[in-house]
Chain A
Amino acid sequence: MKDALGIIFAEGTDTGFGSLTSKRSLAAVPIASRYRIIDFILSSMVNSGITNVGIITQRNYKSLMDHVGTGKEWDLNRKIGGLLLIPPTPSRDIIGSDKVDLLDLAGALGFLERSPQKYVVLSKSHLICNLNFTDAFEKHVNSNAIVTILYQELEPEGEISGLKNRYFLTTDENDKITQIKAYTSTNESNKISLDIYIINKDFLIYLIRDGLASGERGSLSEVFARRVEHMKMIGYVARDFVARIDSIKTFYQANMVILQKEIREKLFFEPGRIYTKVKDEAPSKYMKSAVVKNSLIADGCVIDGYVENSIIFRGVKVVKGARVTNSIIMQGSEIQENATLEHVILDKEVIIRQDIRLTGQKSYLVLIDKGAIV
């Protein structure tokens, strides 16, 4: 896939995540014990052979900058290509929306024009997945399509919530897309767009320039929907595991689903590995009273308490007598003696003092801000 460059849109989501995204973009939210959300799509691109990636930022991108750095963990610290962080388009910042709007892409014009690649793989950052785009890319090139949209097939009885703002595709027998439509209650298609696109670069540049000149606005789905009848756009079905993070609830679910063996083995090992910033923590230490069941634990932890069905990040301390169940405990937090946490999300570096009891519900999680002392 040397002829494709990657663009990741690191949306600055402002609603639905509470304090998790008050100081960081969604792309930089910690997930799965040692990763940030962006690691999955970025590693997918790298493992597919893309060596030139631009990340378009919106608000609060300091944490994201700190995380990706020069891109060395993804082997993107290159002389030719590599990783480029693209600052937000200035006028855009005020409007605020997590849709990939044409105007957001304007900041990437220089990057697109300068790059030698002829195709663009474009995605948002909020997908927890391990994808290889090689096959979709070959189909795109061989079919002479202008745009390829990756989609998944919804189970007939699949959940309806979270489908608002999602786009559905209708395709003919040759995978040519005949219609792109936002979800409505009368929706007939089961092909739900992943908002991952393979686009001919010249066409994307044309769209951005034309949009700037004519004032055309809207998400890429909307822009493509307006043109689908006149252009060859094809659909490509991705059958891999993909979790989409668009709320605290889906964030929690995506963490918990990784406790399942089949999903874990696929997500972390096939078709490639998931890279992240290395922290050089020591191995985790289990002490005498440690009891751990069905949990994911990163390095640098000291566990002497009870942990069940939980996601424990790097450098967490669970002291003797403390109980953590169905919870997500982020980096550097400490749970002291006889504290009890259930259905709780602790942001980084939280201290839960002894005998404190925090109980949430599966449908209503307790979220504690970064650095808080409870």
Chain B
Amino acid sequence: MRKKECIALILAGGQGSRLGVLTKKVAKPAVNFGGKYRIIDFPLSNCTNSNIDTVGVLTQYQPLELNSYIGSGQPWDLDRSFGGVYLLPPYMKAEAGTWYKGTANAIYQNMNFIQMFNPDYVLILSGDHIYKMNYAKMVDFHIENNADATISCIKVPWDQASRFGIMKTDKTLRITEFFEKPKNPVSNMASMGVYVFKWEVLKEYLIKDEEDPRSSNDFGKNVIPTMLHDGKRMFAYNFKGYWKDVGTVYSLWEANMELLHKKPGMNLFDRSWRIYSKNAIQPPHYTADGAVIKDSMITEGSVIYGKVKNSVISSGVKIGKNTVIEDSVLFPSVVVEDNCVIKKAIIGERSVVRQNSRIGVEDMIEGQIPSKMCSDGIVLIGSDIVVKSGSDIAKNVMVE
């Protein structure tokens, strides 16, 4: 029987509620990033570059845009006759059908899909992170250790450790303890939510986990601790490099800004590890006489007449005369008319800022309540919004 050594499953069902209005209409993995990408381009491109050509994408919330974005998988070279990319939403089965209850349940519900490829190893990924990683190296490490499970981990600052799954290992990197989001972390080795399992072993544990009515069917909370308790061979794979959770408005803004550093943590210009994305079919960008652009990224289809400083400008964006854009992220097809000032803002797709508007310049006046989603002065404007001419939108405001 034809088989695949290793297939990947991307958990792309997260609601991303901390991204506020950005995930009102799209799933978190479909949120725009870095001018011409979406978050899911990173795990998908990592798979392609790691020679993993069979990828299941598990979707749940607001799947329409994500589904149409991924399509046949052609931009990632994942349009294959055996393998390729598959979109796996929850579905009705003969007896009943349910939403994905947890990360482990999502995989459980797709066991038939995995079985189709009869793999030796299954790679579980999340669709929420910005990073470049060679999964093939991690699978090799898994095979060398004859491991049942391998968890990729990264050192995080101690004060953030309690947000992650934290592990302790012995000298051979075999995991001895694992705590999901501990109050008092014993280490700062955090799980990145990237796992390799022996498929036979994982299958057994998924079935067992599903039979346990008390389980919340989650990898970090249930499956991993149970396997460890049973003495399975579990190893930690140390990842060194840029890895960013873009789960909040601030972290999404920060990750975009980090691309503009002189030596960015994430080098998008590396020809040996390209990040692929669906092409927007736009002409080259045009920079007019009188435009001033510094420390910024500009992509195809944009037309710039104004001043752009330290900002990420996506495809098809138009920036008018005498307009100043600073420390901001403009999503595709945003239009900013003449004489505007925009500071530290994220502006959603196709929104229009009419002339003489000021965004993110003034502090809030007393009595105004800042958005729960925004912090550090960031203004968040949703997609398809029209900001009337002469508007003044204060810092920490979310417009939907």
Contact = CB atoms under 8 A, between A and B. Distances in A.
Say whether A and B bind each other. Answer: yes
Interface of A: 32-34, 72, 259, 264, 268, 273-275, 278, 280, 282-288, 290-300, 302, 312
Nearest to A73: B279
Contacts of B24: none
Nearest to A311: B284
Interface string B288-319: 11111111111110000000100011000000
Nearest to A287: B295
A302 B283 CA distance: 18
Top 6 A-B residue pairs of the complex, sorted by shortest distance between their CB atoms: A282-B268, A33-B284, A283-B299, A283-B35, A268-B283, A283-B297
Contact of A294 (B283, B285, B289): B289
Contacts of A288: 294-295
Interface stretch (B5-13, B270-278, B369-377): B270-278
B286 A296 contact: yes
A264 B303 CA distance: 11
A298 B284 contact: yes
A192 B282 CA distance: 31
5 contacts: A273-B282, A283-B36, A286-B294, A286-B298, A290-B294
B269 A32 contact: no
B319 to A, nearest CB: 13
A32 to B, nearest CB: 7
A33 B283 contact: yes
Contact of B289 (A273, A275, A290, A293): A293
B34 interface: yes
Interface in B206-240: none
Nearest to A303: B293
B294 A292 contact: no
Contacts of A290: 293-294
B80 to A, nearest CB: 14
Contact of B275 (A259, A280, A293, A296): A280
B134 interface: no
A24 B74 CA distance: 28
Contact of A273 (B274, B281, B286, B299): B281
B356 interface: no
B390 to A, nearest CB: 26
B294 A296 contact: no
Chain A CB count within 10 A is highest, among B287, B289, B291, for: B287
Nearest to B290: A293
Given A34-B283, A280-B274, A283-B299, 16 more contacts: A259-B286, A264-B283, A274-B283, A282-B34, A282-B36, A283-B300, A283-B313, A284-B299, A286-B297, A288-B294, A292-B291, A293-B287, A293-B290, A294-B287, A297-B298, A298-B284
Contacts of B260: 285
Contact of B291 (A273, A293, A312): A293
Contact of A297 (B74, B282, B285): B285
Nearest to B314: A283
Nearest to B36: A283
A78 to B, nearest CB: 14
A280 B299 contact: no
Contacts of B300: 34, 283, 298-299
Interface of B: 34-36, 74-75, 260, 262, 268-269, 274-277, 279, 281-300, 308, 312-313
B197 to A, nearest CB: 31
Given A268-B283, A280-B276, A283-B35, A294 B295 contact: no
Contacts of A285: 260, 269, 296-297
A289 to B, nearest CB: 8
B288 A296 contact: no
Contacts of B279: 278
B78 to A, nearest CB: 14
Contacts of B308: 286
A264 B34 CA distance: 26
B75 to A, nearest CB: 8
A39 to B, nearest CB: 11
Contacts of B269: 282, 285, 300, 302
Given A280-B274, A280-B275, A32 B299 contact: no
A302 B262 CA distance: 11
A292 B302 CA distance: 14
Contacts of A298: 284-285, 300
Contacts of A294: 287-289
A286 B291 contact: no
A299 B36 contact: yes
A32 B289 contact: no
Contacts of B298: 283-284, 286, 297
A292 B275 contact: no
B295 A296 contact: no
B316 to A, nearest CB: 10
Contacts of B34: 282-283
A302 B34 CA distance: 15
Contacts of A33: 283-284
Contacts of A264: 283, 286
Chain A CB count within 10 A is highest, among B282, B285, B296, for: B285
A135 to B, nearest CB: 24
B281 A32 contact: no
Chain B CB count within 10 A is highest, among A283, A292, A302, for: A283
B298 to A, nearest CB: 5
Contact of A292 (B35, B274, B282, B287): B287
A268 B286 CA distance: 12
B250 to A, nearest CB: 22
B288 A297 contact: no
A259 B292 CA distance: 17
A87 B104 CA distance: 55
Contacts of B75: 278, 280
Contacts of A296: 283-286
A282 B315 CA distance: 12
